[in-house]
């Protein structure tokens, strides 16, 4: 069995309207700005890997998007030829840009530059396609000052997302290579902590996404490793 290794985030790059501050230990980063979309990404091709860690929104004053990108490359935030996956989680339903952004966890494919109304409302356009919503969290937002464990499995043909060890998203397809990254849209005070990385492995003949997901996490020594906990906001 391989051992998950802490990720040194000091070599990662920020793009967009965010303010990303590396924390002690270099495996944790804090995003403090409420603004347009922002990404903090590794700059290294990440297919065939699993990324794990914890995410906490340390405020009660906002209710917008937190999440991740997979297959992201430098400049994709403004790239009309981008091709990456967006995993975003909104706390509450909200009207803006003349439409509604729905609460919940979703995975989408992005094939163009970020357009603010499209990303806000998850509009189906030539450059944005929502692929799936979580069975439990698809219409349920994150809670303030609550730490969630997140596990992402990213291969060229399969992506899985676990929240507190529960499989929430499992999508098959043909996915472009690129970086892991963190994503915020109009959400401040977000902490991504204890980030680790490992090799993603799965059997070739397993039926059903749940079985595949359990194998993937077990093979990484992640299943049963973390539990959600309430934390006190430190501002």
- Mind listing the domains of the chain with CATH numbers? 5-47+56-143+173-199 (2.60.120.200)
Per-chain mean pLDDT for the chain:
88
- Which band of pLDDT confidence, cut at 50, 70 and 90, is reported for residue 2? low
pLDDT digits (tens, 9 = 90+) for 203-232: 333 334 444 444 444 444 444 444 333 333
pLDDT the model gives residue 3:
72
Please list the residues that pair with 52 across neighbouring strands.
151, 196
Ranges assigned E (strand) in the chain: 5-6, 13-16, 20-22, 29-31, 38-41, 49-57, 65-72, 84-90, 94-96, 99-101, 104-110, 128-133, 146-154, 158-163, 166-172, 179-185, 190-199, 229-230
pLDDT the model gives residue 202:
56
- Judge contact between 15 and 39, C-beta under 8 A: yes
192-209 mean pLDDT: 70
Q: Long-range pairs for 123-127 at CB < 8 Å and ≥24 separation?
A: 123/99, 127/80
pLDDT digits (tens, 9 = 90+) for 131-180: 999 999 999 999 999 999 999 999 999 999 999 999 999 999 999 999 99
Q: Is the confidence at residue 235, as pLDDT, over 60?
A: no
pLDDT the model gives residue 214:
43
């Amino acid at each position: 069995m391989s051992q998950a290794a802490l990720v040194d985030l000091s070599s990662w790059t920020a793009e967009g309207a965010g303010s990303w501050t590396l924390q002690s230990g270099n495996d944790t980063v804090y995003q403090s700005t409420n603004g347009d979309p922002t990404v903090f990404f590794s700059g290294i091709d990440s297919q065939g890997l699993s990324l794990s860690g914890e995410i906490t929104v340390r405020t009660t004053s906002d209710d917008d998007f937190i999440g991740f990108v997979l297959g992201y490359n430098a400049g994709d935030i403004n790239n009309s030829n981008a091709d990456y996956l967006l995993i975003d989680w909104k706390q509450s339903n909200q009207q803006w840009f003349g439409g509604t952004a729905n609460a919940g966890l979703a995975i989408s494919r992005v094939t163009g530059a970020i357009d603010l109304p499209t990303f806000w409302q998850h509009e189906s356009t030539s450059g944005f396609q929502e692929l799936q919503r979580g069975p439990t969290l698809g219409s349920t937002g994150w809670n303030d000052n609550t730490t969630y464990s997140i596990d992402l499995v990213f291969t060229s043909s399969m992506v899985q997302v676990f929240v507190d060890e529960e499989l929430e998203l499992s999508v098959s397809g043909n996915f472009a290579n690129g970086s892991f990254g963190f994503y915020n849209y109009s959400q401040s005070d977000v902490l991504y902590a204890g980030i680790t990385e490992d090799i993603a492995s799965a059997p070739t003949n397993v039926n059903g996404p749940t079985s595949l997901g359990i194998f993937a996490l077990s093979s990484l020594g992640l299943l049963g490793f973390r539990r959600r906990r309430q934390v006190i906001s430190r501002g």
